[in-house]
A and B are shown apart, each in its own frame.
Chain A
Amino acid sequence: MKIARHLIAAAALAAAASPAFADASTEAFVEDNANEVLESLNDPSLSRDERTALFSRYMDEFADIEAVSRFVIGKYANRFTPEEFERFQAAFKKYALAVYENELDAYRGNEVIVEGSTDRTPRDSIVDTKIPRADGQEMSVRWRVLKRNDGYQVVDVALNVNGNLIWLAIEQQAQFLSLLDRTNGSVDALINRIERMTRDVVAGRR
């Protein structure tokens, strides 16, 4: 009996530690929150500014934009002065929210369908979803979810384009680092570029 108990305990431990063991709570987190965000974009009773404000509030909870903003500048996160970092972060946050609002707008009114998930570690999971787009196409979107003290937050999103997974934050990091390397790490050059891109994104908004 004692051996059987040990075996069961060992099996339970192995199951819990296995990276392939899918954590259904991250799937529920993505499904609930992503759908909430898409609904906020599809509420006809809201004005454009109200919609943007509501969207930003949801995104602040849903995504860890603080962590993303550190990530996208890589080694420069520790090289910028606190004042420089703060200015960059404010510009980046505005840009990220504008980009995500515009991007997700293509999916408004549609439902995020969870297809499964993979746990890289107990605190780091990827949730696979499919979202039908307003134009009739269906996109395969993967959400990277990290466990935080008081719940979960998304840190990156991948689009599966013909078998090529494009992680948005990783792509941004590669480009931001190249831009910084080519301008001797100038925070102003980066902020100028980001602000210009934000203006372009907002100008193209519905």
Chain B
Amino acid sequence: MLCFGVTDRPPYVDIYLFIEVLALKAGQAAHICCLQHTEVIMKTVVSALIALTTLTACATTQDTTDTASGVSDPFEGFNRNVYAFNEAVDKAAIEPVARGYRAVVPEPARDGVHNVLTNIRQPVVFANSMLQGNAQASADTFGRFLINSTIGVAGIFDVASTLGVTEHNEDFGQTLGVWGVEPGPFLVLPLLGPSNFRDTFGIATDRALDPLTWTEFESDPDLDDHIAVGRTVLGLIDTRARLIEPIETLRSQPEPYIALRRNYSSQREAAIRNGETEADPYQDLPDFDVYDEESAEGTGAGDQ
């Protein structure tokens, strides 16, 4: 969990913290998306894809694969611009609101908001667990949704965790990964942050899998829109408030964009493995003494 105070944060390996961030961010990229109003999200995704299609024509021919982590980034120039745009918007608007939210709203209330947002996403997690053929995760998720929606008072209290029912975080990007779909090129989406072709498609699909997308309330035809907007706004603030320290850490890295790209990608792969390490994690470790040789070149860890 990302519950470090600013003062007790381990300074650099920050990297681990920041990675954990990315884990959360990766997990919540889809989450935030689900929180978006359909039109907004579709507009964002579509405009990103149009921009990408345009850029494909002028993509450079250099080797764009970060070989150590297998991240392909043929749109690096575009991605770096979107990253800079996101940073500017965040610093001007989103981060101050998130800091204010954390300062003003007491922790139990923030936890309640987070729990509600997590709970209404459980049908999507359930659908993806089923699509991945994961019976245990499906059963846990179904159980969590029932318990927290009832005893947990509409999801405000996470009673299921207290009872020891494991929480899972699945999305359609992960489902595609389980099915063997490759991530494709790395992408930075406007406002939504790091992604790739597979996960971007996953975001839109999760939206379609979400029952709230299709729910209409007869008594109040506008209620579904109000829920969608409330979800989007609260989801954005909640997520950003939980990422305050990790994003500080990311910004303190020598090359934040590279750090984000590498770690988003490896963290997504770990999420697809449901938190298990790779079968042979030491297979591709680089040689540390190679640079003593005159003819030595890099290990590929940083090849762009």
Interface set of A (CB-CB < 8 Å, partner B): 64, 67-68, 70-71, 74-75, 77-78, 99, 102-103, 105-106, 118, 120, 126, 134-135, 139, 144, 146, 155-156, 159-179, 181, 193-194, 197, 200-201, 204-205
Q: Given A74-B301, A166-B15, A175-B302, is A197 in contact with B266 using a C-beta cutoff of 8 Å?
A: no
Provide the residues of chain A in CB contact with B254, threshold 8 Å.
172, 175-176, 179, 193-194, 197
How many chain-B residues does the 8 Å CB contact rule pick out?
Answer: 51
A-B contact pairs, 13 of them (CB 8 A): A64-B288, A70-B288, A74-B301, A102-B10, A103-B10, A162-B275, A169-B288, A173-B302, A174-B66, A175-B255, A175-B258, A178-B302, A201-B12
Asked if A135 and B16 sit within 8 Å, CB to CB, the answer is: no
Asked if B12 and A103 sit within 8 Å, CB to CB, the answer is: yes
Report the Cα distance A204→B10, complex, angstroms: 10
Report the Cα distance A164→B8, complex, angstroms: 23
B253 within 8 Å of A (CB atoms): yes
Interface set of B (CB-CB < 8 Å, partner A): 4, 8, 10-13, 15-16, 19-20, 23, 66, 68-69, 252-255, 257-259, 262-263, 266-267, 269-271, 273-278, 281-282, 285-286, 288-289, 291-292, 294, 296-299, 301-304
With both beta carbons as reference points, the residue of chain A lying nearest to B21 in the complex is identified as A161
Report the Cα distance A162→B269, complex, angstroms: 11
Asked if A164 and B19 sit within 8 Å, CB to CB, the answer is: yes
Asked if A67 and B288 sit within 8 Å, CB to CB, the answer is: yes
Q: Given A163-B270, A170-B301, is A126 in contact with B282 using a C-beta cutoff of 8 Å?
A: yes
Q: Given A103-B13, A164-B266, A170-B68, is A71 in contact with B288 using a C-beta cutoff of 8 Å?
A: yes
Asked if A75 and B19 sit within 8 Å, CB to CB, the answer is: no
